[in-house]
Structure 1
Amino acid sequence: MREVPGAGGGGRPPWWRNPRILAVAAGVIVAGVVLGVVLTSQSSTNSSNQASGQQQVALQPVAATGQDPFTGSVAAEQPASSAYASPAGATPYASPSGTLSGGDAGLYGGSQKVASCDVPKLSGYLAANPDKAQAWAGVEGIQPNTIDAYLKGLTPVVLRADTRVTNHGYSNGQATPYQAVLQSGTAVLVDSYGVPRVRCACGNPLKPPADTGASTSYSGSAWSSFSPDHVVTVTPAPKKVDSMVLIDPKTGKPFTRPVGGTGQNDTSASPSAPASGGSSSHGPSSGSSSGSGSGSPGGPSSKLPGSQSPKSGGQSGASSASSYSAGVAGPSSAAGASSYGSPAGPGSAPAQ
């Protein structure tokens, strides 16, 4: 009679008694259990956020590319973005909050005569990657063959406040939208209504944020100055602007950049000059603007952030405070200083 292998005698032991097979089987079971726990935890977290009505918002520091970037960074290296991003920078200012108009003078900053974003580099990269160009153009509502002309009509600036946007990564041949807060100091391209359209650190197309009134859950690494109460949303200016009044972080002085300009045509701006075509239509004014020369307090024709208020008579401790309000939501200081400008004057709380 022939012996059945593994049935006893001199044959090999049955598989359920083989230690190697048992060890492999145990490893597979443990891995399956761990994966199940992770997936269950993630599902539970997502379900919890959905049940509580919380919206996920990614925090994106100045230089971080973020998730699924369209391109490498096309941000210029020259502007000192740290002067915007750090309260210890050359021109600190109390953080604004609420909704601001894209036409507000001093809403954005930049280094005079220097573009904060390399537009030709971004245009060339998208032209060399037609799949990405197709997805990118779809977000902006244009045709891929018009990307270069579209980009040349945008203006390179730097954010002066933490700003909420709808960002778009690139994954599996598609643009993937997600809500994000871009840190003050981030280089962006804005359109002729002053609305951010491109984030230069990753080449991602941007759109205005969605559901800003929803309860929010932030993810990612928060910078030291971040506060949910000091995040702004930019709305389109009432009409197209021809130029933008920006603030240079090194000097604190305003200058004018034509829409679509790359720095070469920048000119010095009068401290009381409004952004061309822009007006503020949000939030209450901050009281009378002393020495602003404006008939309507709180409007964009009052003093710019970072500017020096006029001296009346002798040297006054308040002479270095900005009297610009530009319709920024929230109260200004008792001296009429802006809650969105250069170092706060007497009676103002210091930036946190």
Structure 2
Amino acid sequence: MAQPPTSESASVPSGASGGSGAPPPPPPPARTLVGAGGSGGGPGKPWWRRTRTLVVAGVAVAVVAGLSVLLVERQPSGSHSTVAAAQVTGQAVGSPGRDPYTGSVAVAASTSGGGAGASPSASVGASPSANGSGTVDGGTVGLYGGTEHAASCDVQQLSDFLTSHADKGKAWAGVEGIEPSAIPQYLHALTPVVLRFDTRVTNHGFVDGQATAFQSVLQAGSAVLVDDHGVPRARCACGNPLTPPTADTAPPQFGGDSWPGFHAGQVVTVSPAPSAVPSLVLVDQQTGGWFVRPVGGSGTGDQRTSSPTATTTGTGTGTGSGTATGTGTGTHSAATSGSASASASGASSGSSHSTAGSPAPGGGGSSGGGGAGVTSAPGTGPGGAGSTGGAGSASP
């Protein structure tokens, strides 16, 4: 009987010759790509080469991106604010402050009237008119102070320093928008004054050959140089150039020096006067009086003036046909627009003697009108004109 073939003989492919050699190794198993399709069991296309898969993936990415934008837009406006509060560095009267250009060129007398602790309420004279944002016009009467016939800053000393230190002079001039060669002329066109109010500025220090800007508040009593629009341009305690402060996008945070009487709500910002002013009306820090300083003056051209709130008087006499004589007083306030008012108080009497002394019954004279007012306050008008006396009636 024939024997069934063994497993070895069954595995030999047909047509192969017999022999005693080892059978060939079995073929490797077929590889299957993740995501391969088809019913034939063969490998499919890679996912990145299939149009349908790419379309679905693109739609998914677009949906996720849209949801992200929507969620960001719906966040409360204040929940993730990126607006940083301005850091404002306080600088006291005598402090050289941050990154000074020079040593102090301030004259010591400038601190005697508005020195440490000075505040708007403690300052001599009237306060400037500030709007709700604390902004004051640079030409405001009494915004600045000083000492009559004396400069609060040595302009020549500052000019000599900047022109002899080319690196600092170049940086200083760049802040002010001028050429270094124009520094002497520019400085001598500025006016030395003393701040009467804590004042915001953009200060500029000097570091590694460059000007560095930072927000600052200068204490009342600080000596500064202002231009012909009343804007501070240099701080005399350190020589640093100044420009107007930047607008706050959030409530500022104050650091640096501190002093008694400081209050953030009383800090002022000086805005340029609408047009150049020929002079500034200052408060004398020594006496409390008022004087006018020409722009660019160093004190030699100062002229004393009346207080803007002073009242001056004038007299007038009106005579009637009777024997009564009335005297009036005209008044004018420099704080008004220049109009004057006159008031009269005439004496009405029935004197038995005329002014010449002859006996005659006198009639009742009407009061005389007010006389012309005279004032020396700047910008004032004439007083009211005196009216003529009323006709007196004579008894028989």
- What range is the shorter-chain TM-score in? 0.5 to 0.7
Aligned to 1:207: 243
Give the direction of change, closer, same or farther, for the CA distance of 1:150–1:237 in structure 2 (3 Å limit): same
For the pair shown, which has the larger CA radius of gyration, 1 or 2? 2
Q: Which amino acid aligns with 2:208?
A: N
Contact 1:108 1:158 in 2 (8 A): yes
Aligned to 1:327: none
| Structure 2: distance between partners of 1:148 and 1:90 | 33
Alignment counterpart, residue 187 of structure 1, candidates 223, 233, 239: 223
Contact 1:95 1:161 in 2 (8 A): no
Aligned to 1:309: none
> What do residues 143-183 of structure 1 show as CA deviations (whole Å, max 9, x unaligned)?
00000000000000000000000000000110000000000
* 1:55 is aligned to 2:86: yes
Give the CA deviation at 1:78. Answer: 2.3
Aligned to 1:165: 201
Q: What is the 5 A alignment of 1:262-273?
A: 262-272=298-308
* 1:292 is aligned to 2:328: no
Aligned to 2:106: 75
Q: Which amino acid aligns with 1:225?
A: G
Alignment counterpart, residue 65 of structure 1, candidates 57, 78, 96: 96
Q: What is the 5 A alignment of 1:4-19?
A: none
For structure 2, the residue ranges without an aligned partner over 5 or more in a row are 1-80, 310-330, 340-396
Percent of aligned positions with the same letter in both sequences?
51
Contact 2:206 2:212 in 1 (8 A): yes
Q: CA RMSD in A?
A: 2.8
* 1:150 is aligned to 2:181: no
Contact 2:190 2:295 in 1 (8 A): yes
Give the direction of change, closer, same or farther, for the CA distance of 1:120–1:192 in structure 2 (3 Å limit): same
Give the direction of change, closer, same or farther, for the CA distance of 1:177–1:117 in structure 2 (3 Å limit): same
- Runs of at least 4 residues off by over 4 Å: 87-90, 92-97
Give the CA deviation at 1:80. Answer: 3.6
Alignment counterpart, residue 108 of structure 1, candidates 134, 140, 144: 144
> What SS does the aligned partner of 1:83 have?
coil
| Structure 2: distance between partners of 1:246 and 1:91 | 11
Q: Which amino acid aligns with 1:179?
A: Q
Aligned to 1:326: none
Per the normalisation by structure 2, the TM-score is 0.55
Contact 1:84 1:91 in 2 (8 A): no
Per the normalisation by structure 1, the TM-score is 0.62
> Which protein has greater RCO, CA pairs closer than 8 Å, 6+ apart?
1
Give the CA deviation at 1:272. Answer: 2.8
Contact 1:197 1:205 in 2 (8 A): yes
Give the CA deviation at 1:96. Answer: 7.5
For structure 1, the residue ranges without an aligned partner over 5 or more in a row are 1-49, 274-289, 303-352
